Structure 1
């Protein structure tokens, strides 16, 4: 079994990390580190064709993302990080459910700037929160087209002016369908490319 298969097997059934027990988390982080040692793309920031696309979250240690499920009556659906290399943009979307007809969406738009072969600085610029049906959300790809066309999404669509809303992201593993990243808050992200 390859290191990649070992990692995918370790995170299977863990609901992006919510269901992982402490010992499992240690084993998963070890599997992630081992796979990072065999990164087939040593300069991921320069591999725009591989970075480009809609990436679905498989596993994370991010307390912010895992925290959505701790809100009563709220269930987290899919979580995406969509990278558009043309324009150096990143879009993060968390689909929320739990109550019939009240599926929500939390979205953040950001720009990124390469600072090394593996790291980008990220500046968050816009946040969109609302019910999917009122936002006209059907998929990340279609929603991004609306955002890039300049559409506003009331009632909660606002610019992020706070300079504290910046960070960085290291791409520590990248191949055709799997990406591992580490963020400035110490979080690890394992994502698969949606086709």
Structure 2
């Protein structure tokens, strides 16, 4: 295990305390949290892994990452945020699974959503990261989307996943920058600079 810079550790402690004080719906929905953003920016400036997507960091970036903060929400949470609270629709978890090897990085973005009467459902987008020469920027494209009832009607079993492939001509690429990486947390930025903070869960 890498011994961390005391300044980084102190900033991370402050960061996690502030994030954990927020309800999940507030932390990953589009809502300004300038204090959290400022701490993340300080951490980015002393990033111990300047080339997070390089081959030597495959083991570090691979794994299951739970989204614990998004400065302007995500594609899914921004849509849910427009739905009235009385509908009872609730996002329970947003996470990302990354697998890095010599051929590149495959990614699976998932969200678990609770729907009134219908139970818990999982939405998944699978794709690949094409890494640029700076080893921190990637072009992300998704080749399949999946839908699965993980607790249909709140019953304790799963239904088979429905997977929908995306033909190559219809795939769009998005820019993704990994601006901070260590053994515990990861920070990503989208094209517009939105911040995404992940915590490693395995």
Pair 1:159-2:165 in alignment: yes
Select the residue among 8, 30, 35 that pairs with 2:38: 30
Select the residue among 102, 113, 123 that pairs with 1:96: 113
CA RMSD of aligned residues (A): 2.8
Q: Which residue of 2 aligns with 1:76?
A: 91
Could you tell me how far apart the structure 2 residues matched to 1:22 and 1:79 are?
Answer: 14
Q: Which residue of 2 aligns with 1:191?
A: 198
- Structure 2 residues without counterparts, runs of 5 or longer: 1-8
Q: Give the superposition deviation at 1:29.
A: 1.0
Q: Give the superposition deviation at 1:23.
A: 9.5
- Structure 1 residues without counterparts, runs of 5 or longer: 138-151
Select the residue among 110, 124, 131 that pairs with 2:149: 131
Q: Which residue of 1 aligns with 2:5?
A: none
Q: Which residue of 2 aligns with 1:144?
A: none
The 8 Å contact of residues 83 and 90 in structure 1, kept in 2 or not, is answered as yes
Q: Which residue of 1 aligns with 2:175?
A: 168
Pair 1:62-2:73 in alignment: yes
**DSSP-derived class of the 2:198 partner:** strand
Q: Give the superposition deviation at 1:7.
A: 1.3
Q: 1:66 to 1:15 in 2, by over 3 A?
A: farther
Pair 1:108-2:116 in alignment: no
Q: Which residue of 2 aligns with 1:85?
A: 100
Select the residue among 139, 143, 146 that pairs with 1:121: 139
Q: Which residue of 1 aligns with 2:60?
A: 50
TM-score of the superposition, structure 1-length normalised? 0.80
Could you tell me how far apart the structure 2 residues matched to 1:19 and 1:52 are?
Answer: 24
CA deviation vs aligned residue, 1:9-68 (integer Å, no higher than 9, x gap): 221232346269999611111111011111111110111111000000110023423233
Greater C-alpha Rg: 2
Pairs aligned (count): 179
